[in-house]
Amino acid sequence: LSCRGKDSQGEEVIKPYTPTTLDSDVGSFELVIKMYPQGRMSHHFREMRVGESLAVKGPKGRFRYQPGQVRAFGMLAGGSGITPMFQVARAILENPKDQTKVHLIYANVTHDDILLKEELEGLASRYPDSFKIYYVLNQPPEVWNGGVGFVSKEMIQTHLPAPAADIQILRCGPPPMNKAMAAHLEAIGYTPEMQFQF
């Protein structure tokens, strides 16, 4: 969805967000919004009060999911890039007829930056055979059993399904991460048809 608002200078700003709710959640939708101190749209959301309206346009997007379209998805998410992954994972996991497996690598700077952590853990505990998460932190806490640094080629090979005609890798993160992941995936042998970037 595209949301329209005004930044701190009164200039119009339009920014896309992926709802975390599903098409089957009728009557309302939820957005996860990361507030940045200098963020133009963040300013608009900070100024909003309960009961006010927001200009929204959509839905839009190039990704259409059909149950069973692949055997497994590998997901590479960075920061707020988790939102489309969460929506797709929910659509798969909450459909009892869908046997698709989901493998997620989710990268952030610190532990506090992990968005939707409770919801992701809930999916992992409810669907342990279908949903696996591997967290990667640039600045991990002292006690940490996930990945450290940036997502590496080795992490992808260990935690995502290997290249095959019936798997697809979904990517969503900041531009430098997307670029690095594209290079890793190509080096491992994932073809362009096996990849989709939100």
Tokens (6 digits) for 88: 């797709």
Q: Are 54 and 3 in contact (CB under 8 A)?
A: yes
Q: Where are the beta strands (DSSP E) in 27-69?
A: 55-57
Is 34 marked as binding a ligand?
Answer: yes
Q: How far is CA 66 from CA 12, 102, 144, 150, 193, in A?
A: 36, 14, 36, 31, 16
Q: Looking at the DSSP assignment, which residues form a beta bridge with residue 72?
A: 101, 167
Is 152 marked as binding a ligand?
Answer: no
Q: Where are the beta strands (DSSP E) in 126-166?
A: 131-137, 147-148
Is 41 marked as binding a ligand?
Answer: yes
Q: Are 163 and 194 in contact (CB under 8 A)?
A: yes
Tokens (6 digits) for 106: 């989710």
Is 158 marked as binding a ligand?
Answer: no
Tokens (6 digits) for 59: 């839905």
Is 42 marked as binding a ligand?
Answer: yes
Is 16 marked as binding a ligand?
Answer: yes
Is 13 marked as binding a ligand?
Answer: no
Put the strands of the sheet holding 167-172 in their side by side order. 147-148, 131-137, 101-108, 72-78, 167-172, 195-197
Helix axes 117-126, 82-93, angle to 10 degrees: 30
Which residues line the annotated binding site for FAD? 16-17, 32, 34, 41-42, 83
Residue ranges for the known binding site are: 16-17, 32, 34, 41-42, 83
